[in-house]
Chains A and B, each alone.
Chain A
């Protein structure tokens, strides 16, 4: 579970800290352009580092500095609690003088406050442990060290943290692009979930019992669902198909022919099953209510909130009143920005309420545009 996320000088986030410590689920609300999606983009940068992207130029661009302020470094810091230990990772990027290329200025991974490695510009310092002595090595300052530093074993804190961060779910599904085909297996869906088929196969290979969880959820939202098939041979090999049946008979549809909302049910089922099978996970879902019928939104959001209560963390953004009503004052965060030249401000809703800046019905206040932290 994230205990701290700090972002500085990245797009509209300046000196920004997301107060989600101790919350199994949280909702980000705010006007268009207030910075909700940017929080997801910041998490995505950290996730891509853990997934092996080490070239700074592919992670951040000079245009990502807040208001083009390239004189100060861009910082990302995350602290998470995993298996009763606190892991901290921080990275700072800066534009080197006379160059248009971004470089890593500092980088650090700590466990329980003790460094695993620290890095200044092109020098990495690996802290010694029971098995190895202190070590130093040079590194190209245009490369991030986290994907490169070798892990000693599966119990190595580096490996535990990297795996957790790589498996983080940062989602903005685009149902029209989800076709259900797959060539290989993965446990790392991309934000648009266009590799749904590979994720589905990967999850079932690593934890076959996860199918029960998927089936259990989907049958509640689509009572006539029979099963999901992924044939390994034949013309439709490795293309998901969904079978529905009732007393009159049955029909099998290719995955790509499901409706946008139904594809979102499938993604939701995968999130629930993944958190159960290889969690606890962090799931950041940008507008999970998109594409859903009004009668479904509340149940959908509550199913996710309920699943993450027993482990992991769920962060959603939303403009939908039905989704917003399923959260409470203490886990709703309001993001606000006065204009495009101002940074994002974040305040928990309960703090806004107790300070007397706002009272009454939240959705009505949002409709009137009266909620300003």
Chain B
């Protein structure tokens, strides 16, 4: 949800488009 930098979080910097889509999959499954 909204960025709350005081909560624990993971920042994903995907190295390419395929990895970006994988990261989306994890976020949708939350």
Could you tell me which A residues sit within 8 Å of B by CB distance?
217, 220-223, 295-296, 299, 302-303, 305-306, 309, 325-329, 360-362
For A217, the chain B residues whose CB sits under 8 A away are 1
CB <8 Å contact, A329 and B28: no
Beta-carbon contacts under 8 Å, B2-30 to A: 2-4, 16-17, 20-21, 24-25, 27-28, 30
CB <8 Å contact, B1 and A303: yes
B2's contact among A299, A306, A328, by CB below 8 Å, is which? Answer: A299
For A295, the chain B residues whose CB sits under 8 A away are 2-3
With known contacts A360-B17, A361-B16, A361-B17, A221–B1 Cβ distance under 8 A: yes
For B25, the chain A residues whose CB sits under 8 A away are 328
With known contacts A306-B28, A309-B28, A299–B20 Cβ distance under 8 A: no
Give Cα distance in the complex from A296 to B4, angstroms. Answer: 11
CB <8 Å contact, B17 and A223: no
* 21 A-B pairs (CB sep. < 8 Å): A220-B1, A220-B2, A222-B2, A223-B2, A223-B4, A295-B3, A296-B2, A299-B3, A302-B24, A305-B28, A306-B28, A306-B30, A326-B24, A326-B27, A327-B24, A328-B24, A328-B25, A329-B17, A329-B21, A360-B17, A361-B17
For B24, the chain A residues whose CB sits under 8 A away are 302, 325-328
Q: Which residue from chain B places its CB closest to the CB of A223 in the assembled complex?
A: B4
Nearest 6 Cβ contacts at the A-B interface: A220-B1, A328-B21, A221-B2, A295-B3, A299-B1, A361-B17
* Closest Cβ–Cβ distance, residue B16 to chain A (whole Å): 7
Q: Which residue from chain B places its CB closest to the CB of A265 in the assembled complex?
A: B2
* Closest Cβ–Cβ distance, residue A263 to chain B (whole Å): 16
Give Cα distance in the complex from A302 to B21, angstroms. Answer: 12
